Amino acid sequence: MSKQSMQRISHDPGSDITTQKHVIRRTVAKILIPFIQLFGLYVIAHGELGPGGGFQGGVILGASVIVYILVFGLDEGRKRVTEKTSDLLVSSGALIYGGIGILCLLAGGNYLQYNVLLPDPKLASHLGILGVEIGIGITVAAVMITLFCETVRRDDDD
């Protein structure tokens, strides 16, 4: 790959897309993104019983932010999801997962043995899995965003 094409990738898409002629893209994106996110949440929430789960839902959630960045530019996108936020989300998502595991330990079960969490083992299992899926979803979404941003970032400073 030539040097120029690399630069095209790392070029900030925001600079020329924010002009008026991209009004269609921006409008469509604004309409679509909430629905994409809603779908992402749906997939995450149904992971325990139906097809889907934290990974898939997380990717969809992440994709919604990536669409936003593609349309509005990296700088604009990074205002919405700052580096700090995405880093925090990466960790906290996984921590939710790990924390639930630890909770199970503290409740007297094995690691990730959800049914000991509540008096009703069935409900406990449901909630436990849901919590884990949410954690995974958050992490996956944040990782997707970070990866994308890091890849398109132009490093003038170093």
Partner 1 sequence: MIEIILTKYNYWIYIVLMMTGFYAVMAKENLIKKVIGLNIFQTAVFLFYISLSKVDGGTAPILINGPVVYDNPLPQVLILTAIVVSVSVTAVALAIILLIYKAYGTIEEDQILEMNKHND
Partner 2 sequence: MIKHLPILLIVVPLLSALIIPVAGRINRALSWYIATIATGICFVISLLLLQTVLKEGSISYWLGGWEPPMGIEYVIDYLSIFVVIIVAFIAFMVSIYSRKSVELEIDEDRISVFYAVYLLFITGLMGIVVTGDIFNLYVFLEITSIAGYALIALGKKRQALMAGFKYVVMGTIGATFILLGIGYLYLMTGTLNIAELSQMLPQLYHTNAVLTAFALFAVGLALKIALFPLHTWLPNAYTYAPSAISAAMAATATKVGAYALIRILFTVFGVSFLTFGDLNLAHIFLFFSVVAILAGSILALSQTDIKKMLAYSSVGQIGYIVMGISLLSITGLVGSLLHILNHALMKGGLFLVVGAVVYKVGITNIEGYKGLGKKMPISMAAFTIGALSMIGVPLTVGFVSKWYLAVASLEVGMWYLIPVILISSVLTAVYFWRVIDNIYFKTDDEGDPGHGHGHGHGEERVKPDDAPAWMLVPTVTVAVLCIVFGILAYAPVSLAEKAAVILLR
Interface contacts to partner 1, rule CB under 8 A: 1, 3, 6, 50-51, 55, 147, 150-151, 155, 158
If the CB atoms of residues 16 and 87 are measured against partner 2, the closer one turns out to be 87
Pick out residues in 60-89 that bind partner 2 (CB under 8 A). 84, 87-88
Residue range at the interface with partner 2 (CB under 8 A); choices 16-24, 34-42, 51-59, 113-121: 113-121
One DSSP character per residue, the chain reads --HHHHHHHHS-THHHHTSGGGHHHHHHHHHHHHHHHHHHHHHHHTTTTSS--HHHHHHHHHHHHHHHHHHH-HHHHHHHS-HHHHHHHHHHHHHHHHHHHHHHHHTTS-TT-GGGSSSSHHHHHHHHHHHHHHHHHHHHHHHHHHHHHHHH------
Residue 90 in the binding site for partner 2 (CB under 8 A): yes
Residue 113's binding partner among partner 2, partner 1, none (Cβ under 5 to 8 angstroms by kind) is: partner 2
If the CB atoms of residues 61 and 116 are measured against partner 2, the closer one turns out to be 116
Residue 92 in the binding site for partner 2 (CB under 8 A): yes
Residue range at the interface with partner 2 (CB under 8 A); choices 27-35, 47-55, 70-78, 107-115: 107-115
